[in-house]
Structure 1
């Protein structure tokens, strides 16, 4: 056992204390911290029985929503999800000495690398875009999402697609290259997240905010993922989102077998010299699209990533495509959310956190 693991074990052991006191004194609405558990973490259950479906990290804060008659099981709210945990794995949060929160520059959380002779960084009040002018598609688009901005009079059907006047026409797609193709104009910053005004919805309909995406994905699992993210924001979380395109080898069996079979393995060998698939106008077609989500709710941070194959058939459930942010960063070659303090960033980016819908 190395020094870090030993200290981690020691803190968990000290926090466990007398679980009977926790069960008897904890009330609904109270915040607790998860402690102890197994080598994999604190077991999470679907109900107050042995129906385990996952684990949470010790040290995770949770709100008590309900408890069973005996008081030995708690229904807790974790981020946007709920689960049952044994009371012996909880400790009142007041028992933990608070520490001063690290200084966080919220305005810089979406910063990501856009260096290189073929890259152009474009930003406005809606989102930031890193455009690859050689492959004529965005590498990533970064934006902040809050629940109180997800309602309004904006309507997608009133918008029309436009080229981005900050770039030459040779560095982006246009109506002509999509006409008659097999691809949708796949929004990266989704129009539905900008309905607060019609002008904001219109602002998402630029070709530097879209990638060629098969309709089965764009209207299927990807659309459901975007809807789940909006639900998460409306629940009260602030979300910093980076979404974009990947160009990595894809298992050819992913095209033939019913997803997610053969579609969950991703090759992290890096960016190829040339995309394996291009549409008219030499527009690169991503092998995958991704979404990295950093969330803060009630002072608690979490991060998750989704990496979805861009294939000409349904991809199944978006939940099947969860990855850690660390895995995504390895594929991108870019450090995301790098201005977070290291102790927060390192802890949350190595986990593939559940997003429920």
Structure 2
């Protein structure tokens, strides 16, 4: 009897083993070593001696943290089917792993700011276990995102990425914010001017780095961090990895062969050929240009030598703003640039502002009235009294004292309705066919020939411009 029982147990064991070996294994969940397979974009180091480029590695993602900005420089993660399950969303939490003495951003720091607590590695990308999902809610993985950005095309792209995984792919994703729209939390947390993302798409497999080729699909987007874009398609913000490298200063996909990088980083998703790179300037890498209305927006081959006015807002009350556009083909320092306001037909400037900082190629720079509504100020890089104009006032942009663009006619007062009856209580945008400024500040001004007119308090295009030459 004992022998028969032993034989039966052995048979059951063998059957169980064979049956288990026939079951298709599930895809392994991402672990820490997967997240930087394609490279460390900024050479981040896990040492408190590097407070502006501090490396944090978790199974769920890797990131470079900037202590003084209170947000990550970038976050990198691997995504495949093993990372996606059905656990519930967790709660936001302070990241207590940061070095002692560093300010640790709290969940309440975003309260009342008007900005969402926006995930870089999405909660939806880490739903296999509760611990995985909780890791995405550390405030080091969060940046301030405008609700229409975060809840609109940004989340649509996140959903699309998971659909790619469901279709049998695995992804390497890098995400972050660029530029600055100001701060929240009493200056402790920087608000990015735009949010960017890179997605490298591979079929499910192994030895992933070696499988990246000239034909590998790479999605790169750069999306303005503003209201008014909730219903936009994320594809409206397609750009190139090269353009994002120029914008951020990081070296993406650095572990990939240089020859392959040169191809896939210069190509916009959906196009069949790389975008030609701009001629490099001293000390910079060649940069390709994006081809759709993103931030930065496309260069078209008809570049200008200087910045120019691209939008004029003469709205209700103090809702007034000016937008400059960089169509030069390279990043531009604002040192030497100045804007002057000539009121009521005067030939002497009543107000001026000297600009500082820089503007990436294809990007914009917005100057707003300090008393404008939050809808305008949230889109501004700076506020200035030079934006205290009326529809009959002329504006001049100079570089080292030389006129590079003008709006209106200095020395001429067209009356309260403005030039052509369209510069008062209106928003004007430079026609897409205009690629350089009007350098004669005293010539006659007919807005309809070079500007498109929009109704009072139209702010939807502020902070985003493109040029399309005929």
TM-score, normalised with respect to structure 2: 0.45
SS of 2:186's partner is helix
Deviation at 1:295, TM superposition (A): 1.8
1:301 to 211, 216, 219: 216
- The offset of 1:111, in angstroms, is 2.1
Alpha-carbon distance change, 352 to 134 in structure 1, aligned in 2, over 3 angstroms:
same
User: Matches of residues 296-335 of structure 1 in structure 2 within 5 Å?
Assistant: 296-297=202-203, 301-315=216-230, 316-335=232-251
Larger Rg: 2
Q: Does 1:161 align with 2:101?
A: no
- Which of 186, 193, 201 does residue 287 from structure 1 map onto? 193
Alignment match, 2:41: 112
Aligned mates of 1:352, 1:228 — CA distance in 2: 17
- Aligned to 2:228, what secondary structure does the other structure show? coil
| Structure 1 unaligned blocks of 5 or more | 1-104, 248-274
Cα distance change on mapping 1:184 and 1:107 into 2, 3 Å: closer
**Match in the other structure for 1:125:** 59
**Aligned partners of 1:318 and 1:132: how far apart in 2?**
27
Q: Aligned in 2, Cα 1:215/1:246: closer, same or farther, shift over 3 Å?
A: same
Map of 1:87 onto structure 2:
none
**Whole-angstrom distance in 1 between the partners of 2:61 and 2:201:** 17
Contact 1:126 1:143 in 2 (8 A): yes
User: Per the alignment, do residues 327 and 160 of structure 1 end up closer, same or farther by CA in structure 2, a change over 3 Å counting?
Assistant: same
Deviation at 1:124, TM superposition (A): 1.1
What is the aligned partner in structure 2 of residue 277 from structure 1? 182
Q: Provide the alpha-carbon RMSD of the alignment.
A: 2.1
Whole-angstrom distance in 2 between the partners of 1:289 and 1:349: 18
Superposition deviation, residue 120 in structure 1: 1.0
- The residue number in structure 1 matching 2:319 is none
CA distance in 1, matches of 2:167, 2:77: 18
- The alpha carbon displacement at 1:165 in A equals 1.5
Q: State the distance in 2 between where 1:174 and 1:180 align.
A: 13
Taking the TM superposition and a 5 Å limit, the aligned residue runs for 1:187-266 are 187-247=119-179
Contact 1:278 1:284 in 2 (8 A): yes
The answer as to whether partners of 2:51 and 2:66 remain within 8 angstroms in 1 is no
* Aligned residue in 2 for 1:181: 113
Partner of 1:45: none
TM-score normalised by length of structure 1: 0.58
Shift in alpha-carbon separation, 1:212–1:343, aligned structure 2, 3 A? same
Map of 1:351 onto structure 2: 267
Q: Distance in 1 between matches of 2:97 and 2:229?
A: 35
CA distance in 2, matches of 1:203, 1:239: 19
Q: Which structure carries more relative contact order (alpha carbon 8 Å, separation 6+)?
A: 1
Deviation of the 1:136 alpha carbon: 0.7
SS at match of 2:202: strand
* Cα distance between partner residues in 2 of 1:107 and 1:279: 30
Please state how far the C-alpha of 1:343 moved relative to its aligned partner: 2.2
Contact 1:110–1:241, Cα closer than 8 Å, also in 2: no
Aligned mates of 2:170, 2:143 — CA distance in 1: 26
CA distance in 1, matches of 2:263, 2:51: 33
Write the distance in 1 (CA, Å) between the matches of 2:225 and 2:58: 28
Counterpart of 1:21 in structure 2 is none
Residue 193 of structure 1 and its aligned partner are, at CA, apart by 0.6
Measure the CA separation in 2 of the matches of 1:353 and 1:171.
39
Contact 1:293 1:303 in 2 (8 A): yes
Aligned residue for 1:144? 78
> Deviation at 1:107?
5.9
Q: Deviations over 1:214-269 (max 9, x none)?
A: 1111111111010011111221222111001101xxxxxxxxxxxxxxxxxxxxxx
CA distance in 2, matches of 1:171, 1:130: 16
Q: How far does residue 170 in structure 1 lie from its aligned partner after superposition?
A: 4.2
Unaligned 5+ runs, structure 2: 1-33, 45-49, 205-210, 272-470
